[in-house]
Chains A and B, each alone.
Chain A
Amino acid sequence: MSSVKRKGRVFRLLIFATLGSLVNEEVKRTVDLSTHLAKITTEVLLSNPGRSTVNSFVVALEPELAPHLAFIGVTVKEKDGSLELKETSLKGQSGKFFEVQLLSGLAGGSKLRLQVETVLSHVLRPFPTHITQAERQLVVFQGNHYLYSPYLTTSQTTRVRLASKNVESYTKLGNPSKSDEIIEFGPFQDIPPFSQDPMKIHYENNSPFLTISSITRTIEVSHWGNIAVEETIDLRHTGAFLKGPFSRYDYQRQSDSGISSIKSFKTILPASAQDVYYRDEIGNISTSHLLVLEDAVEVEVRPRFPLFGGWKTHYIIGYNLPSYEYLYTLGDQYALKMRLVDHVYDDQVIDHLTVKIILPEGARNIHLDTPYQIDREPDQLHYTYLDTFGRPVLVATKSNLVEQHIQDVVIHYTFNKILMLQEPLLVVGAFYIMFFTVIIYVRLDFSITKDPAAEVRMKVASITEQVLTLVNKRLGLYRHMNDVVNRYKQSRDTGALNGGRKTMEAEHRTLTNDISSLQARLKVEGSDLADKVAEVQKLDSQVKELVCRSCQEAERLVAGKVKKEAYIENEKSLASKRQELINRIDSLLDAL
């Protein structure tokens, strides 16, 4: 028991040994209370009076303010580099402590100018808590006059910036001076470590007390070139509650009525944002404006109704981004670099953030690089169009965020490029199967009853088809014969003419026989088309006769038995007769 106590004491001594070696000289605090946040910027000239080099120091926050801490950051002045913070605890002291690693150690006797930036949310309490529409909003800030630090402070000044010059009351330690919106405290000399003296300021603040009570940011990555971002936002006015009626008349007629209410605000989206939408459960919200600037897209978001104290609303805003600006690739390795949380309105406060990042189906070896600590939740699977085994979804949450948290997150993963083809192939396959089924259905007969009439009809149709081709072929023969005759008239080669005539005769005979047999089959099927085919046959024999006659005429002409004029006359009448017959055949064929 006693040994434990002793150990503790030794430990504490050790800490004090390291802590006690530093001194805060020239502390300049600026407490900015002009919005609904408390932004405390402390400029410190840190000196090391000891001999040994110090590699780290501790930044502290009062226990009363610690739960409200949204952001803390330390930068080295003139160097513009931010330092790394790590939360620690100091035995026997309450509050929050962060150990800051110096880039290069602070040697004995040297000094370093630092800037500590702290943002506190929900630290301004409306008082009174309920106001009417005509009243102005008053808030109370409770803080510390001194710098809360584990080191001795040799000199300190504090400047408080308020939202307006109307101040109800403020603590008057060291006789502060007040001009317009600014109250100056100090300078205070030689303040021992961990000194606290309550500072209380009660003043008018009509700036928008807007809080995002929860936001769900969904980032859906597609390797086809698009990143879809959607934010579902719950907003709440966290200022003084509206008491009594809301009068639209007063709100419209008097400019200072409902002065602390919120009509609209601006959201800045990335410059490449496209297809922006802004809606809620009951549809598109028509009261908004979109402004495309050079380096950003600005949306003037106007909720459906003005937000008074205690009122809330809910909306969804979404847009598309081209993936080439955010997605980097090397072989199968991909890296997505995007903002974990984006701008919603100036001086935003987010009570609870959920980020969902949906990666393409088949992404593996996922690794998340975050700029600050966030809580990962178990991964999920998301199914959307054409997915088979689901897309991996990374889910992360964090509470109490402010503007300073708008930083990039990097996600590394591997993705086999072949998988890109999976979805198109799926569609192709589906269509293939569909068409194939239709083909099978059309080709096969699935009827359970026989329809003899339909069968006969189909048979007749097929026979007619054959008849048609044969008749056309036969007509082709005549045309060919005509050519032969013309050639004969020039060359006077009787052999060629006779040969041509013979082949025509032979082919004609086979064709005519075929047609006759088809005609017989038609008759068997009981179709009246058989008669028509018979008529065609009859006409055809006349045509053939004419062809033969023109052939003989040509022979007689060549032999000089007829005069040329008579031949031409004759030939003309033959041709016209033939044409007429052929036309009649054609019309018969059309009717088949």
Chain B
Amino acid sequence: MELICLGHFVLSHNPEVWILGELMLNCSWGGVGGDSIHRIHPALECHSLVVSLSSFLLRFNYRSTHHLTSNGFYEFLNWFDERAWYPLGRIVGGTVYPGLMVTAGLIHYVLNLLHMTVHIRDVCVFLAPIFSGLTAISTFLLTRELWNQGAGLLAACFIAIVPGYISRSVAGSFDNEGIAIFALQFTYYLWVKSVKTGSVFWTIGCCLSYFYMVSAWGGYVFIINLIPLHVFVLLLMQRYSRRVYIAYSTFYIVGLVLSMQIPFVGFQPIRTSEHMAAAGVFALLQAYAFLQYLKDRLTKQEFQTLFFLGVSLAAGVVFLTVIYLTYTGKFSLSLMRYLCPPPRYAKIHIPIIASVSEHQPTTWVSFFFDLHILVCTFPAGLWFCIKNINDERVFVALYAISAVYFAGVMVRLMLTLTPVVCMLSAIAFSSVFEHYLGDDQKKDKEGLGPNIKSIVTMLMLMLLMMFAVHCTWVTSNAYSSPSVVLASYNHDGSRNILDDFREAYYWLRQNTDEHARVMSWWDYGYQIAGMANRTTLVDNNTWNNSHIALVGKAMSSNESAAYQIMQSLDVDYVLIIFGGVIGYSGDDINKFLWMVRIAEGEHPKDIRESDYFTPQGEFRVDKAGSPTLLNCLMYKMSYYRFGEMQLDFRTPPGFDRTRNAEIGNKDIKFKHLEEAFTSEHWLVRIYKVKNEGSSRTSSFLRKARS
């Protein structure tokens, strides 16, 4: 008996549990139970939850949480991480949204207080599924407020299985978004509740939930703009009431003060332009309320004069203030960043942002892939809402419209669209079912034949069933394959696991000096810090463009120039990803042009993108490739000794499977580097920088001493 997985998680030996879980989903059982099981799917799929942890987890979050639990909250806030951004270091406490770590840390603390000796790792792995259960509950509550209980149940079922949300909430996905979507939905629920009741109690609840959201995710900006927009539209629609006044005034003031308590947010809410809409609406609401008050006490003629004067004065003051503030640089009009599609903006400004695949505009395919049938039904739900409009349905309509816009701009923001799509689709389905499955007596009046009724019902159920099947398929295929462990299938269907990343990271962890500095492209920064526990130069928190550009420059220069840079940065090891042997397309050669571009942005004299293309403007690694490319450090490190390797009999030696080309430079020799480790499938290659410089200084020192 061969057992690849030595996982100790009981469920992994128990296939029935899965089937049960899937059945529950197919019956649209939804809710917390089915929901969580669906999400644990990937963790189990990958043999054991330990795998899934290391694979899905943004290792940085885990590392910070670990730091939090072992050193306490205040130590965490003051944490200076010298392992990142060598030689700069990173002030972690002030540059992260601490909500995720604090939540996980708190759960861990409480459990351990009760002598439930759960490892912090397990808490982190299961945090996202737990919170997705809470998301389902809050979606139910919100939809119930908007429509009715039935629609709420359907919405909870949808959000429980929809791929667009599962992608962020599978077990092991220890990411801000995992808890933030819950906070988002819950804040909206409490907001709708407070607009409905006009009670300070609900509004304070809303503020606390908003506070939690601010502590968890930068997406809180969405809330602080959507709620004012809601109030503004209500004013335009002549739907002003005391309830709205109480709710918004309380929310704005308390929410503002609370959000400023998060160190990373600080004074942004009163300084940056993305928070100004809230302030403007607050002022407008006060003015409107004041005018309403005057209206009761003045004649119509007096009121009109006063109104005209007041409005023009206010407009003038606001205009002048904005101009003055922008002029003096107190806040930047960075609205551009939000309104124009980022890639377009970023291509001009920061190539790094454009280089992230998550920041690309969304394609139609991914809308369908992530939302399936819901993307077709949610406009119907929106239509139902607009047809029977009231205060809270105005809100959901605005939510839907803005979320659709943002999701179209960036793939990543698909996540904010998903909940509202679920809610509106649930409303659409629920109204259809109500119509066609209602009581017999009522139906007689409308004159619908039983045949039509059953056909429509069957069709709707078919759609839902296909949706459930699609969700299961997407979850198990697209979102369960961890990014760190690659799997390939043989002809007989058995699975090969390529565990090269962890092989190399663990080698670094075990067999290099504890303070060794590893240079790699920024994508692997968090992984190296987390799994290999070594100092990195750049990582996924891409705040310092020039530092990244320097690494890019080292990678794209020739060896001796690169050696100078590496010496100045005290680099001990260089790590690259090379997919040529197994045909892995996400490797460093394929990302190489971004490195060149980013390097060019900062060092236009030394690096020119055009040097790396053939005269015909192609990027080629074979003999026809440009000599600059064939001799740059990245090329040499990727293909060192690859020229001797013959993968199969049909291809010449040194045939790159990813790019389907025989490499152009097979005679690669290093002067300042040596191969330190290459993983089994050559996916990760690590080179050691020979330390001639420092040995010279040390011999010099020795001489000086003697």
Residues of A whose CB lies within 8 Å of any CB of B are: 244-249, 253, 275-292, 304-305, 310-314, 318, 383-388
Contacts and interface: CB of A to CB of B under 8 A. Distances in A.
Given A312-B510, A383-B117, A385-B115, 15 more contacts: A246-B675, A246-B678, A248-B682, A249-B645, A253-B645, A277-B7, A282-B54, A282-B502, A282-B505, A283-B48, A285-B6, A286-B47, A288-B6, A318-B8, A387-B115
B502 A289 contact: no
Interface in B624-668: 641-642, 644-645
A321 to B, nearest CB: 14
Nearest to B687: A245
Nearest to A318: B8
Contacts of A383: 115, 117
A313 B644 CA distance: 30
B690 to A, nearest CB: 10
A305 B8 CA distance: 23
Contact of A280 (B48, B506, B676): B506
A315 to B, nearest CB: 10
B499 A304 contact: yes
Contact of A305 (B485, B503, B675): B503
Give 7 closest A-B pairs by Cβ, nearest first. A248-B678, A283-B54, A290-B3, A277-B8, A245-B675, A278-B6, A245-B674
A34 to B, nearest CB: 28
28 contacts: A245-B674, A245-B676, A248-B677, A248-B682, A249-B645, A249-B678, A276-B3, A277-B7, A279-B6, A279-B48, A279-B50, A281-B509, A283-B48, A283-B502, A284-B48, A286-B51, A286-B485, A288-B4, A290-B3, A291-B1, A304-B506, A305-B506, A305-B677, A310-B511, A312-B511, A313-B510, A318-B8, A385-B117
Nearest to B673: A245
A450 to B, nearest CB: 16
Contacts of B50: 279, 283-284
Contacts of B3: 276, 289-290
Contact of B2 (A284, A289, A305, A312): A289
Contacts of A310: 511
B53 A305 contact: no
B701 interface: no
B55 interface: yes
B466 interface: no
Contacts of B4: 286, 288-289
B676 A246 contact: yes
Contacts of B506: 280, 282, 304-305, 313
B639 to A, nearest CB: 11
Contacts of B645: 249, 253
A246 B504 CA distance: 13
Query: Which of A244, A286, A292, A305 has the most C-beta atoms of chain B within 10 angstroms of its own C-beta?
Result: A286
Contacts of B530: 282
Contacts of A288: 4, 6
A284 B677 contact: no
A311 B509 CA distance: 11
B20 interface: no
Contacts of B499: 285-287, 304
B5 interface: yes
B65 to A, nearest CB: 15
B270 to A, nearest CB: 36
A276 B6 contact: yes
Contact of B510 (A244, A289, A311): A311
Nearest to B13: A275
Interface in B1-23: 1-8, 10, 13
A384 B53 CA distance: 23
Nearest to A313: B510
Given A247-B675, A286-B47, A384 B7 contact: no
Contacts of A292: 1
Contact of B115 (A283, A313, A384): A384
Contacts of B676: 245-246
A76 B531 CA distance: 54
Contacts of B7: 277, 284
B6 A248 contact: no
A388 B115 CA distance: 8
B497 interface: yes
A247 B48 contact: no
A247 B502 CA distance: 18
A285 B47 CA distance: 10
Contacts of B55: 283
Contacts of B47: 284, 286
B117 A384 contact: yes
Contact of B674 (A244, A277, A291): A244
A305 B507 contact: yes
A283 B1 contact: no
A253 B646 CA distance: 10
A278 B504 CA distance: 18
B510 A277 contact: no
Interface in B666-689: 674-680, 682, 688
B452 interface: no
Nearest to A279: B50
B116 interface: yes
Contacts of B507: 304-305, 311
B495 to A, nearest CB: 10
B531 A282 contact: yes
A282 B642 CA distance: 29
B606 to A, nearest CB: 29
A279 B51 CA distance: 9
Nearest to A292: B1
Contacts of B6: 276-279, 284-285, 288, 290
Contacts of B117: 383-385
